[in-house]
């Protein structure tokens, strides 16, 4: 690795599994000090220990991203541990799979609270620090192709991710004067727990996904980490962008059939 994030500190929420974990590992391999996060202290520490075992530098901090004060404490703990915050990745997310007419208020609020409000809390807390410290920085919000597309039985998730996309654009415009880059990564079908739930909701088999994707395969966690690295680099004139890393899924007008 070439150390593209040397001397930088990154927070990655929801980094005990999936895309968040892959991003945390990649950033550490690129030289960043990384704060890993989960609601569970044990799970946050597990990812940090993995990074340390491979020669990286990381600490785990437990925080519920739906808790305003806890998110601020997460940022404060990062500053205490590493002296600052250069990169904030708002990755923590959940979903629910249920027909819209059967959704309860609790179903709706749980997804919106984690997937949209949690992203706002993380971006705001990190942005406030970067503005006050006059350091600039990068904020990356993990969205989904479902922020632009509809999928049955996923009304809260699609709504939350659509909100994340426009929140990203708004913050990019507002904070550009502070040299804060704000972008979103919108993965397509990557093998994660949430993708498994999406396939269940839509009754898609792996073969269905592969046929529907122009590149003909699922994306990988490593590819998402590579996209994340590009979006936080701050050397590419890119801010306010929602990058669809979906193998061509959202560009495919025909929709189904053989490639």
Structural domains of the chain ordered from first start: 9-246 (3.40.50.720)
User: What's the Cα-to-Cα distance from 94 to each of 88, 121, 158, 166, 221, rounded to whole Å?
Assistant: 19, 16, 11, 19, 17
pLDDT given for residue 2 in this prediction: 60
Q: How far apart are CA 78 and CA 60, in angstroms?
A: 10
Rg (CA), the chain: 18
Q: Is 190 left (phi over 0), alpha (psi -120 to 50) or beta?
A: beta
Instruction: With H, G, I as helix, E, B as strand and everything else as coil, classify residue 167.
Output: helix
Instruction: Give every CB contact of residue 146 below 8 A, 6+ residues apart in sequence.
Output: 154, 157, 158, 161, 198
Q: Which of 215, 226, 197 is nearest to 96 (CA)?
A: 197
Say what percent of the chain tops pLDDT 70: 97
Instruction: Give every CB contact of residue 241 below 8 A, 6+ residues apart in sequence.
Output: 172, 183, 184, 231
Catalytic residues: 157
Q: How far apart are CA 229 and CA 186, in angstroms?
A: 14
Q: Are the C-beta atoms of 30 and 229 separated by less than 8 Å?
A: yes
Q: Which residue has the tokens 């609790």?
A: 106
Single pTM value for the model: 0.95
pLDDT given for residue 254 in this prediction: 76
Burial of 25 (0-12, 13-18, 19+ CB in 10 A): buried
Instruction: With H, G, I as helix, E, B as strand and everything else as coil, classify residue 42.
Output: helix
User: What's the Cα-to-Cα distance from 188 to each of 8, 198, 217, 235, rounded to whole Å?
Assistant: 28, 11, 11, 25
Q: How far apart are CA 117 and CA 123, in angstroms?
A: 10
pLDDT given for residue 259 in this prediction: 45
Instruction: Give every CB contact of residue 51 below 8 A, 6+ residues apart in sequence.
Output: 24, 25, 28, 34, 36, 57, 58
Q: What is the helix (H) or strand (E) element at residue 227, kind and residue range?
A: helix 221-231
User: What does the pLDDT look like over 98-134, one tens digit per residue?
Assistant: 999 999 999 999 999 999 999 999 999 999 999 999 9
Residue 161 sits at φ, ψ, to 5 deg, of -70, -35
**pLDDT averaged over consecutive 10-residue blocks of the chain (259 residues)?**
88 98 98 98 98 98 98 98 98 95 98 98 98 98 96 94 98 98 97 80 84 95 98 97 97 69
């Amino acid at each position: 690795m070439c150390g593209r994030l040397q001397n930088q500190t990154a927070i990655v929420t929801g980094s005990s599994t999936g895309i968040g974990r892959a991003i945390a590992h990649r950033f550490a391999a690129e030289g960043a000090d990384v704060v890993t996060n989960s609601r569970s202290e044990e799970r946050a520490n597990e990812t940090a220990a993995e990074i340390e075992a491979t020669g990286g530098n990381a600490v785990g901090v437990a925080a519920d991203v739906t808790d305003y004060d806890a998110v601020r404490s997460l940022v404060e703990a990062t500053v205490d541990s590493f002296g600052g915050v250069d990169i904030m990745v708002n990755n923590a997310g959940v979903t629910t799979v249920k027909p819209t007419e059967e959704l309860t208020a609790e179903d709706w609020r749980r997804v919106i609270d984690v997937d949209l409000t949690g992203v706002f809390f993380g971006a705001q807390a990190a942005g406030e620090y970067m503005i006050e410290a006059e350091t600039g920085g990068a904020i990356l919000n993990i969205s989904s192709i479902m922020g632009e597309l509809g999928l049955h039985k996923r009304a809260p998730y699609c709504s939350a991710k659509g909100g994340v996309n426009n929140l990203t654009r708004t913050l990019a415009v507002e904070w550009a004067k502070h040299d804060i880059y704000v972008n979103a990564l919108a993965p397509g079908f990557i093998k994660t727990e949430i993708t498994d739930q999406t396939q269940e909701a839509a009754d898609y088999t792996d073969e269905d996904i592969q046929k529907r994707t122009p590149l003909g395969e699922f994306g990988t966690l490593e590819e998402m980490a590579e996209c994340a690295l590009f979006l936080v680099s701050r050397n590419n004139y890119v801010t306010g962008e929602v990058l669809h890393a979906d193998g061509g899924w959202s560009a495919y007008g025909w929709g189904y059939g053989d490639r």
